[in-house]
Amino acid sequence: MSRALRRAVLGIREHQVLAVATGLAVAVVLTLTGAFALVAGNLSSVLDRWGKDVQISCYLRSDLQDEAIFNLKAELEAMPEVAGVEYISPEEALELFADAIDGMDRLLADLDGNPLPASLEVRLVSEYQRPAEVEAVAKRIRRPEFEDLDWSQEWVERFHTFVALLRLSTLVLGFLLLGAGLFIVHNTVRLAVHARRDELQIISLVGGTRLFAWAPFIVEGGILGLIGGVLSIGFLWALHRWAFLALQSTLGLLLGPEVLSFLPGSSILLLVLAGTSVGLLGAIASVARAAPEEIV
């Protein structure tokens, strides 16, 4: 391994331009992968935060007394599917509606009375926020005291479909980009094998094993992949520092204060390992497909 490492470093020095180009190419591929993961991860956090707002609005009959409303609230809070219940009075509902749309408060001021009913806003635990489960819970909490129930069924279904597609597209694009990195390293090592075919033939003539001849190229591919992985972390940090944080300041009200964070330590380590693995696999594939007269 010591000899293989020294020869790999020497090979990189002998072909500096090719090594730099390969390292940068792998870094770009991993940066694209990491950037997409960064966007998908932060967007998933935003969606999870929005998903926690999935709730069932139970509109109360106007003739209900305070005691009946209190008993209903306590009954719903005792259900295992329910995370919390909030009572919204007609006055609070009108105020929330006026604040939701700019200029609506002036229109509502012309009304003779308050058309909005009181309601119980039922928040569900995370295990019961999928569309089918929300609908099932809504059927279980239906009571004669409720004039109507609303849980934005269409929005909930589209929300969960979008989250599933986002996570699937992250995996698919990640594999495609890593495949591109594998192809780049594969061709780079093939060029290195071809350039040093005379040296490899000498190794074969003096009794060197196939593994002895292969090892420097495999180590070289791993080093190039490792360099690409480390460079990609720097590129991603710069992208996060100068682009993502600027985007957060623009969309702060929509995204909230706890999003657009950088990759966690585990993801950084995974990205570096992915670069090294791509380099090793690309090198192994290259020497394995080399012609017998080139590497024996």
What the chain holds in terms of domains, given with CATH numbers, is 2-49+158-288 (no CATH), 55-151 (3.30.70.3040)
Confirm whether pTM is higher than 0.75. Answer: no
Helix ranges (H only) for the chain are: 2-14, 16-51, 66-77, 90-100, 104-108, 131-141, 153-195, 197-205, 210-239, 245-250, 252-255, 265-288
Residue 253: predicted pLDDT: 43
Residue 158: predicted pLDDT: 73
Q: Return d(Cα 132, Cα 160) in angstroms, integer.
A: 11
| Separation in Å, CA 93 to CA 68, 75, 85, 88, 159 | 20, 22, 15, 6, 25
Describe the crossing of helices 265-288 and 153-195 by its angle, rounded to 10 degrees: 40
Q: Note down pLDDT in tens along the chain; length 296 residues.
A: 777 778 778 777 877 887 888 888 888 888 888 887 777 777 766 666 655 567 888 999 888 888 888 999 999 999 988 888 889 988 888 777 766 565 555 666 666 667 788 899 888 887 777 777 888 888 888 888 898 888 766 666 676 677 778 778 877 887 887 787 778 777 777 776 666 666 666 766 676 667 777 788 788 888 888 998 899 899 888 887 777 666 655 554 445 555 567 778 888 898 889 888 888 888 887 777 665 545 44
For 265-294, give the DSSP string: HHHHHHHHHHHHHHHHHHHHHHHHTS-TTT
